[in-house]
Amino acid sequence: MDLVTVEEIAAAAERIVDTAVRTPLLPCDWADADRPLWLKPENLQPIGAFKIRGAANAMARIPESARPRGVVAYSSGNHAQAVAYVAKRFGLPATIVVPENTPAVKIEATRSHGAEVVVAAITDREIVAERLVTERGATLVPPFDHPDVIAGQGTIGLEIAAELPSVELVLVPVSGGGLASGIATAIKARCPAARVVGVEPALAADAAESLAAGRLVRWPAADRARTIADGLRAEPSELTFAHLSTLVDGIVTVSEEEIRAAVALLARRAHLVAEPSGAVTTAAYLHRAADLPRGRTVAVVSGGNIDPTDLAALLAT
Amino acid sequence: MDLVTVEEIAAAAERIVDTAVRTPLLPCDWADADRPLWLKPENLQPIGAFKIRGAANAMARIPESARPRGVVAYSSGNHAQAVAYVAKRFGLPATIVVPENTPAVKIEATRSHGAEVVVAAITDREIVAERLVTERGATLVPPFDHPDVIAGQGTIGLEIAAELPSVELVLVPVSGGGLASGIATAIKARCPAARVVGVEPALAADAAESLAAGRLVRWPAADRARTIADGLRAEPSELTFAHLSTLVDGIVTVSEEEIRAAVALLARRAHLVAEPSGAVTTAAYLHRAADLPRGRTVAVVSGGNIDPTDLAALLAT
């Protein structure tokens, strides 16, 4: 299987320069002395998540002739917002298929970017999206299972390598695996001595189990849905697993309690609002030190879309 | 009176490059169409506030011969943390004089950066600090009333001008006036068509009254202490007022309720933890539109050191 190349990621970086923010590396004065920590705050992107990078790269590559027919995505989360936001910027019609249990506030947020929202049963949403693609001649923008999406997410790795070439460890959340695939490709090309370690909730550790087994191990969706980290409930595809098994140095897991504590710590000490999925890397830094290489560490904070009342509850305790 | 020059600010930028984070401009997808908004998130600096810039520039200019005798500052807030943090990085001994009502958690934070903490009655702290300077031959690092400190804070303006040369309005919190003086100097030099407007709490609007009167008008400290924006309770000096009256296009005021709402909005929509003082510019953008020029606007979010339980209370409502 062909893996994404660092050249494709460099090309993606040029395509998304006007859409995604080049986020800084934030040094943490509360880190351990022998493993200084920087945060890569992707929660500061428009729509509050890294997803904008992959969506922008994929949508920039749609041929001129196909652009008037627009794009389709299925997601209830950050990918939906990202596709809607980028489509509006690019002037493309967008249709987002959401599962029928999606909170009204998320549907409203998607509509606020000008996207059409189609509600479907969760088991039908891929079928509904594919039918829209066929009927309208629209282009599907998948959440992770596409080289252009992986290349877009990989621009985070290029930015880390450019700003901190001496980085020794990069911690990345793993769900469908697009983010980790892209970042690992960029880091291994530009900083070959650095390790890239994925982080999963213990309650959705299918990628960790897959890496250990050397093949894709499937967990029931109901099991993966148990974690508070609602952005980490997807599972790798053949394409992303090929990247992970070739490029990633390991995957560590964190508990629900560790994730909650990391969300609170990021607000208190780093002044960042992170969603649970975005806080797993900080949780791993704090609680899996024994399993991680020492040295200069970057933790990717992938998103910030947490319900404010949930954040309030975590901060009040 | 000699005002700080943009050349001094450019020199400061080179001195602080390894100490302060070059914060990004964050576009806000919730802004009005005819006045797009970017946030300049200085709450993401180490110690959570812009103060690190002025402290680093002032301390970088201490002559080699005076460095072993260290630095002294009086502050209970972000300036204390900034001086302690920079002194540790620069390898200088630091003594921070804090008023006797300072919360233990703030004293502990200052000590955690390796600074000596001296507790004094609030009316005596300047005298105590001056005595330490005389006895030890240490260098005083003032919070705003010094050209080197103003030049350091002005580096924010250079970054805004470099990243968004077409900026039309910059909103800056005003307390002692060092931040607004530095930013206005940089913006007026690099983007002469842009307006710079200060923002104060209505409960501590001494600088607004001074600008209107054309001379420094003093408010009793007890009056200025009423605002929730505890970083905006200081008053301009002759030096900073000379900058403000020459360079700033106006000052608008915001209510306590508007400040609280802006803190909550920044957490919800921008994924930033801002302290009340840091949120006043967003409050002005939202609630003083009629008093502000339209067009491309930057709001400086000056700091993020809010008590987590206070933030929780604002988010829960």
Numbered ranges of CATH 3.40.50.1100 in chain A: 6-45+146-316, 53-140
Q: What is the ipTM of this complex?
A: 0.95
pLDDT value, residue A83: 97
Compute the count of residue pairs across chains A and B with CB atoms less than 8 Å apart. Answer: 88
Q: Helix A147-163 vs helix A178-190: angle between axes, to the nearest 10 degrees?
A: 40
Q: Which chain A residues touch B27 with a CB distance below 8 Å?
A: 21, 46
Q: What is the C-alpha end-to-end distance of chain B, expressed in Å?
A: 48
Structure tokens at B173: 């919190």
Find residue B37's DSSP bridge partners. B297
> A113 to chain B: nearest residue by CA?
B29
Q: What is the C-alpha end-to-end distance of chain A, expressed in Å?
A: 48
Fold entry, domain A6-45+146-316: Rossmann fold (3.40.50)
DSSP B202: G
The residue ranges of chain A whose pLDDT is under 70 are: none
Which chain B residues in 271-300 lie under 8 Å from chain A, judged by CB atoms?
271-274
> Which of A113, A166, A271, A314 to mutate to probe the B interface, most B CBs <10 Å?
A271
Task: Note whether B199 and B174 are within 8 A (CB).
Answer: yes
Structure tokens at B234: 């200081």
Exactly one of B181, B210, B237, B302 is catalytic; which is it?
B302
Pick the CATH number of A53-140 from 3.30.930.10, 3.30.70.260, 3.40.50.10300, 3.40.50.1100: 3.40.50.1100
pLDDT value, residue B238: 97
The residue ranges of chain B whose pLDDT is under 50 are: none
pLDDT value, residue B127: 92
Interchain CB contact of A44 with B (< 8 Å): yes
Select from A22, A25, A273 the Cβ nearest to the Cβ of B267.
A273
Q: What is the dihedral of CA B150, B156, B157, B159, to 10 degrees?
A: 140
Interchain CB contact of A27 with B (< 8 Å): yes
Mean of per-residue pLDDT scores for chain B: 95
Find residue B140's DSSP bridge partners. B72
Numbered ranges of CATH 3.40.50.1100 in chain B: 6-47+146-316, 53-140
pLDDT value, residue A104: 83
Interchain CB distance below 8 Å, A21 and B26: yes
Task: Note whether A208 and A285 are within 8 A (CB).
Answer: no
Q: Which chain B residues touch A47 with a CB distance below 8 Å?
A: 29
Measured CA distances, A17 to A60, A113, A172, A266 (Å): 11, 20, 22, 27
Strands, E assignment, chain B: 26-27, 37-41, 71-74, 94-99, 116-120, 139-140, 169-173, 195-201, 250-254, 297-301
| A41-86 pLDDT, tens digit each | 999 999 999 999 999 999 999 999 999 999 999 987 899 999 999 9
Pick the CATH number of B6-47+146-316 from 3.20.20.70, 3.40.50.1100, 3.30.420.10, 3.40.50.720: 3.40.50.1100
pLDDT value, residue A108: 86
pLDDT value, residue B249: 98
> A301 to chain B: nearest residue by CA?
B271
> B264 to chain A: nearest residue by CA?
A308
> A84 to chain B: nearest residue by CA?
B29
Select from A21, A268, A274 the Cβ nearest to the Cβ of B24.
A21
